[in-house]
Each structure stands twice: as C-alpha cells, then as structure tokens.
Amino acid sequence: MQSSIRAQGSSSIWDGIYTEAQAVRGEEEYAARCASCHSVDLRGNSNSPSLLGLSFMFIWEGRTLGELFGKVSTEMPTDQPGSLSLQSYAAILAFILKKNEFPAGSSELSTNDAVLNQILITSEGAAN
Amino acid sequence: MLIKFPHCLAIALLMSCSWSYGQIAEFDPVTDEMLGDPPPGEWLSWRGEQNSWGYSPLEQINTGNVNQLQLVWSWAMDDTGAGQAAPLIHNGVMFLPGPRGVIQALDAANGDLIWEYRPGITASIDGTERAISREALGAAAMPATAYAGVGRGVQKNIAIYGEMIYAATENASIVGIDARSGLLVWETRTADPALGYYYTAGPIIANGVLVTGITGCERYKDDLCFITGHNPQSGEELWRFATVAAPGTPEGDSWGDLPLQFRAGADSWQAGSYDPQKNLVYYGTAQAKPWARAVRGTDGDALYTNSTLALNPNTGELAWYYQHLPGETHDMDEVFETLLIDVGGRESIFKMGKLAILWQLDRQTGELIRATDIGYQTIVNVNPTSGNITYRDGMIPRIGQQIDMCPSTSGFKSWRAMAYSPQTSAVYVPITLNCELATFGPTERVLGGGGTGPVRRINYPHPQSDGNLGELLALDIPSGEVKWRYRQRAPINTAALTTAGGLVIVGDWNRYMYAFDAESGEKLWQTRVTTSAQGFPMTYMIDGKQYLALPVGVGGASWSSMLPRDLAPELTRPLNGNSIHVFALPD
C-alpha cells in the first residue's frame, strides 16, 4: 500500500487510503448523521447533493481529500456543523470512498490535514 | 376545559397507558363549515383559513399596544431535526407538529401537555397494530436515531377535521390520529420511500377529502410524482393525480421523447389552498429534475412542473393548470403557497416563486391576469400581461459551464409563506437576497439515479442588497408595486403573519422576532429567542385573551445553513432549540 507521506498530488484515493473496518464504522455514523439528507444510498435528495459517481466526481475531481475533509468536518451536518469527532468524520469519509468503489487498504484514513492535503481525488484509476 | 387522566382508564381495551398523558374532554368536531368560516380565535388551517392568507381577524394585540407583549409560556420541542412548525388551534388546544412526525397537544393558554403522538411508539386507538413498522419498511425507513436536518423528517403542517388530526410522514405515509387522545387511528402508505419519496408538507381538507402532495420525486423510477385524495375516516385512497405528464397523455409530449422512468420532479412540498365555492384545490408543483435541461435531457416544457394546478378534491380531476416557468432550468421552484384573493370582483390567485415574480391568475380559468417581476432576478424576461417567459441571453445552463445568476438555487422566496392583509391590500413576503456563480453537472441516467444533478456553487451577495440578506417586502395587491421594504443583515426566516390589529409578524435567522406596522413598515416590537425564528407564526384567542405563537427552529436547507454561513459568517445560532414561544398583553 502507498504511504500517505508523499509529495503533494502524488497520492490518490486509489491508493488504499482507508480500512474496511473504518468504513464499517463510518456506515453507522453516516446512517445516524447524514442519511436524512443524503439518503441511505448516498444519492441525496432535493436539498442535498448525491455523494456517488458522476455527481460526486463533478464536484470533487482534481481537489484533495484535505479539502473534502475540511468541508465535511466544518460544515456538516448543515444544522449541527462540526458536532462530530474528527475520527467520526474520517470514518464517514471512508464509507463514502468505499461506496464509490475506491479501494480499502491497510491503514486508516488520517484526520491530519497535512496528510489529507496530499491525497488527490481523481477518476484516473489507480494513479501511481 | 381539559381533563387529564391515563388512557388505561379512558379506553378500557387499551393495552398500554404510558404514552399519552390525558385527553381533551371537550372537543367539538371540526366541520367543513368551520374550516370555511373559522371562529375568529381559532386557527384551523395551516395558514389560518383555506384561502392561505396567513391573516387573523383578531385585533386585541395591535399597533398601539404590541410593544407591551410579554412571554406567557414557551415549550421546547424535539431536537431530532429541523423545526418548521405550523401549529393549529381548536377548543383552546394547540396541535403542534415537530420533527420526525411528533405531534403534541398543548393547553394553548398555559402550555401544559395534554397528549403527544410519537410515530412507532404511540399505541393505536384499539390496541391493534395500525402503524407501518420499521421492519416492514426495511432499509427504506429513516434510521430511528437519525437527525433530520433537511428534507426527510421535516414536518411543516398538519390538518384537523372531524375528531381527527392528520399528518404526512417522513416514510411516505399519511396518518389519522384521534384528536382527543393522540392515539393512532390509521396509517396509509402512499409510495415506497426506498424510491426517494417522503412528505414534508401535511394534508389539507377540501370538501371532506384529505388532499396531500408528496415530495422526494427526484429519482429515476417506474413511477411518477403525485397528489392524492384520501378518505379521512378510513385512510382509503380515493384518487391520485400524477403531477408529471406520462408519455401518451395529452401533455406527455412536453417531455420530448424521455421515457416515463426519466421524468422526475414536480413535487408538491408546500400545502395548497381550497375554494369551497368552486370546489377546487390549488396546489403548486416544483421544478423538473434534474434541474438543468441539459442534464435531464429535454428542453421541453415538462408538464406539470412549476405549475399551479386546480383539482377537484372529490375526483382528482384537473380543472386547469398554469405553468409559470416552462422548461425551467435553474432550480427555480414555483411550488409555494397559493393565496386566494378577490380583487375588484376578480376571483384571483396570487403566488410567488424563487424568482420573486408575483403572479396573479384567474381562479376559475387559470388565465394569467398579471405577472410582476420585482426586479431582483437576472435569469428570465417575463411579459407582464401574457406571463410568457423567455430566458435571457446565455442564461440557459450548459453542463460544466459557469453562469452568473440571481437568485442562487436557494431562491429569493422559499417556503417562508407570504401573508395578505385585507386592511392594507398588500402581501408581505419574506425574501432572502442572494446570487450565485453556478456550474451544473451531469447525473447517471439509470433507475435509482437522477436526482437534482450536482452544482458547483459559489454564493455571493445580491448587488442591490448593500450586504443585507434579509428582506420583508410589502407589495400592493393587485398592482405588485412595492409598498415598503425592510432590510437587514440576517435572513427573514419565518412565514409572515398579518392581523387585523394592523400588524405583520416575522422572525429572523438571528433569533429576533418582529412586529411591524403593516401600513408603514415601522418596526414596533422585537424580542429574542432560543435559536433561529423558523416556522409559521400564528395567533389565537382563549377566554377573551389574544395570544401570539412564534415557532423557533434549527436545521433547514441552504436558505438557513449555507447562505448565512457563506454570506453573513459573523452571525451564529445555537445548534439546538426547536421550540414555540407564546406572547400576550399584560392582564
């Protein structure tokens, strides 16, 4: 698996940057704190964007996981922003990555900005 | 008036006596006549009367004494989701809808709880299983512990009729509740929540029929969005009107060659109005989904999206429709409340959508009488006499290409209903001033997919706003001319209430409640509450004393979260605090 300590942009969400166990934890947190707006299946509703596939990548393609983590952890849930622990936000993000079929790996998704800022969100599969 | 005792004594057959606290001893069944001409001190429809004016004939609290208002009681509501309550008043009891389907009956003079209905917990009236269980809903059910911030789990209005209270649920069912005890009488599922369906607007009563519009229609599915009529006694579905025209129907060509599965939207997420003389209900519909033409794959009109519909409440037959924004392509809802106002003998409807265009329609024929663009929007040109819409140059979005538009996808107008005062012949409209750099993106055209489509969104202040987000706009009826404007930094965040005391009442996101002189716009009273003012203010009278009830709430969509966060970041509000606050003059 890729180490997360790499030069900016040289790591991507294809590099196994979260664990299965983390995504399973994230699924529970997601159901309780995110699903009423983004739906159980992540496809959103009229007020909240889809977190899957084309729609997700349209917003996030070319940006870093640090940017996404920053938005989620400071703005979500919209009515109680910042009310979850950083570990919970990371687990939820792991769950979203899993549902988008980005591969799991052996180390958990970090909550460290410096690390997350080096992970690129890209549809270019398994970027090196 | 109110006698409290456990249900196990009241209803001998009931297995449990723990959930409700008492019952309303003196309850007069609510008749069609009462709904059509309510006692002045009552509030029997979500906007006061079936005409949706949001107006009370009470005048004890008035421009001369409103500054003496005092808090009489307040009540904390569940903090399980967004608060947008539209309470009702009958026989001195307040029926208060909260998040996630909870309804509470309170003594409206002092705030004592009489009963509460909790979905899945409150027993049914005969002890048999009447509720749709979470097991039956499976994965489609909202998680029991979920926090319902936006969309599913929001409960705006409820209805009262006969000896029952009616509500529509987060899991796409309609419930009938015994008004005396709060016990469940029936629950009828109207659609599969796994397909995205849910309710946020409750039913209205029209000629003995329960009429309800659904939302959550943005997914691709083998099904179409709808409004239904139900038998209030039994919960039986009497009719269903598809708000999307199917292929092969007279209006079906308006979606081009899109198959039925990919015709989404036309939700009815704000309750309608009823004209008993014409026996017609009037409902607004939302925009087509996905929002942008280029994303949904047709530049057709997409009937009956963004329309006003006139339906016979007994049959569901369409009397007429008027489509305000054919082929709408920026998420500009026209779904909001329909005010039934007669002007110079002309029986009219007045309504306004996100673009802040005031529409006057003939209530009998649906013919457009006048369209008044308030002048804030930059997307369309509207012909004031024909109502015809044309998009301005470059304003029809292409996928991936940024456009600059006012308003943002949040709109100028929202569910915060406007109110009409016959004293001033004016409507009072809560407005949020804002604009957006918007880039619309694609969705997968597969069953279960669709949705609104993604938008890369950058909010910015409206050029005419001087940095103010909030506006209360007083418009002359029927001319649409601006009578006065009140502007401030924080968004006006409630529906408006008008009274015969010469007042217009609203509250804001920054926790203030205000009373204005409806004629002059002068601010006469303010107070500050737990969190954002949010919901539908109303007023009532008990034993000769007038009360003013102001709902407060957290949560809410972009108009109450993203916009204040982005455009007024110095303002903050508590993350909890759903509640209702009731004021009156000193004794």
Confidence of residue B3 (pLDDT cuts 50, 70, 90): very low
Write down the domain spans for chain A. 11-120
- Bridge partners of residue B474, in order along the sequence: B428, B484
Using one digit for the tens of pLDDT, what is the confidence trace for B505-514? 999 999 999 9
Confidence of residue B138 (pLDDT cuts 50, 70, 90): confident
Using one digit for the tens of pLDDT, what is the confidence trace for B568-584? 999 999 989 999 999 99
What is the number of other CB atoms lying within 10 angstroms of the CB of residue B330? 28
Give the mean pLDDT of B52-69: 98
Q: How far is A33 from chain B (nearest CA, A)?
A: 6
Give the mean pLDDT of B114-133: 93
- Choose, out of B137, B150, B156, the residue to mutate when testing the contact with A (most A CBs < 10 Å): B150
Which of B219, B286, B451 is closest, CB to CB, to A55? B451
Which of B146, B149, B218 is closest, CB to CB, to A78? B149
Give the mean pLDDT of B327-338: 98
Contact of A32 with chain B, judged by CB distance below 8 Å, is answered with yes
Question: Cβ A36–B575 below 8 Å, yes or no?
Answer: no
Which of A44, A50, A77 is closest, CB to CB, to B149? A77
What integer best gives the mean pLDDT of chain A? 89
The H or E element that residue B94 is part of is: strand B93-97
Give me B243's structure tokens: 């708000």
- Bridge partners of residue B14, in order along the sequence: none
Pick from B536, B582, B550: nearest CA to B45: B536
Confidence of residue A63 (pLDDT cuts 50, 70, 90): very high
pLDDT at B6 (0 to 100): 44
The H or E element that residue B435 is part of is: strand B435-440
Give the mean pLDDT of B366-372: 98
Give me B366's structure tokens: 């649906």
Using one digit for the tens of pLDDT, what is the confidence trace for B78-123? 999 999 999 999 999 999 999 999 999 999 999 999 999 999 999 9
Contact of B231 with chain A, judged by CB distance below 8 Å, is answered with no
Between the CA of residue B169 and those of B175, B188, B203, B512, what are the distances in Å? Answer: 8, 10, 10, 30
- Choose, out of A37, A41, A68, the residue to mutate when testing the contact with B (most B CBs < 10 Å): A37
pLDDT at B484 (0 to 100): 98
Strands (E), B344-400: 346-352, 357-362, 368-373, 380-382, 389-391
More confident residue, A81 or B57: B57
Contact of A86 with chain B, judged by CB distance below 8 Å, is answered with no
Contact of A48 with chain B, judged by CB distance below 8 Å, is answered with yes
Chain B residue numbers touching A59 (CB-CB < 8 A): 441, 454, 456
Identity of residue B150: V
Chain A residue numbers touching B408 (CB-CB < 8 A): none
Using one digit for the tens of pLDDT, what is the confidence trace for B442-493? 999 999 999 999 999 999 999 999 999 999 999 999 999 999 999 999 999 9
Confidence of residue A126 (pLDDT cuts 50, 70, 90): low
Question: Cβ A50–B556 below 8 Å, yes or no?
Answer: no
Q: For residue B371, give every residue at least 6 positions away whose Cβ sits within 8 Å of its Cβ, in sequence order, or none.
A: B357, B358, B359, B360, B382, B383, B384, B385, B387
Question: Cβ B150–A78 below 8 Å, yes or no?
Answer: yes
Superfamily of domain A11-120: Cytochrome c-like domain (1.10.760.10)
Give the mean pLDDT of B353-381: 98
Contact B287, B325 (CB under 8 A): yes
Contact of A67 with chain B, judged by CB distance below 8 Å, is answered with no
What is the number of other CB atoms lying within 10 angstroms of the CB of residue B122? 23
CA distance B151 to B201: 10
pLDDT at B10 (0 to 100): 44
- Choose, out of B154, B192, B218, the residue to mutate when testing the contact with A (most A CBs < 10 Å): B218
pTM score of the predicted model: 0.94
pLDDT at B21 (0 to 100): 64
Is the pLDDT reported for residue A4 higher than 70?
Answer: no
pLDDT exceeding 90 applies to what percent of chain B?
90
CA distance B306 to B52: 19
CA distance A35 to A42: 7
CA distance B305 to B284: 9
Give the mean pLDDT of B208-235: 97
Give the mean pLDDT of B68-79: 97
Which of A43, A55, A77 is closest, CB to CB, to B441? A55
What integer best gives the mean pLDDT of chain B? 95
Q: B576 exposed, middle or buried (CB, 10 Å; 0-12, 13-18, 19+)? A: middle
Contact of A28 with chain B, judged by CB distance below 8 Å, is answered with no
Is the pLDDT reported for residue B311 higher than 60?
Answer: yes
CA distance B503 to B483: 15
Give the mean pLDDT of A99-118: 95
Closest residue on chain B to A39 (Cα): B196
Task: Indicate the length of chain B as a whole number.
Answer: 587
CA distance B425 to B271: 23
List B residues 115-174 in contact with A (Cβ-Cβ < 8 A).
Answer: 139-140, 142-143, 145-153
CA distance B192 to B133: 14
Q: B138 exposed, middle or buried (CB, 10 Å; 0-12, 13-18, 19+)? A: exposed
Is the pLDDT reported for residue B1 higher than 60?
Answer: no
Pick from B175, B166, B151: nearest CA to B81: B151
More confident residue, B18 or B552: B552
CA distance A46 to A81: 20
Instruction: Please spell the DSSP secondary structure of A34-83, one letter per residue.
Output: THHHH-TTS--BTTB---SHHHHHHHHTTSBHHHHHHHHHHH-STTSTT-
The H or E element that residue B106 is part of is: strand B103-107
Strands (E), B222-306: 226-230, 237-242, 264-265, 273-275, 280-284, 288-289
What is the number of other CB atoms lying within 10 angstroms of the CB of residue B31? 11
Instruction: Please spell the DSSP secondary structure of B396-424, one letter per residue.
Output: S--TT--EEESS-TT-SS-SS--EEETTT
- Choose, out of B197, B443, B534, B559, the residue to mutate when testing the contact with A (most A CBs < 10 Å): B443
Helices (H), B523-576: 562-567
Chain B residue numbers touching A40 (CB-CB < 8 A): 139-140, 143
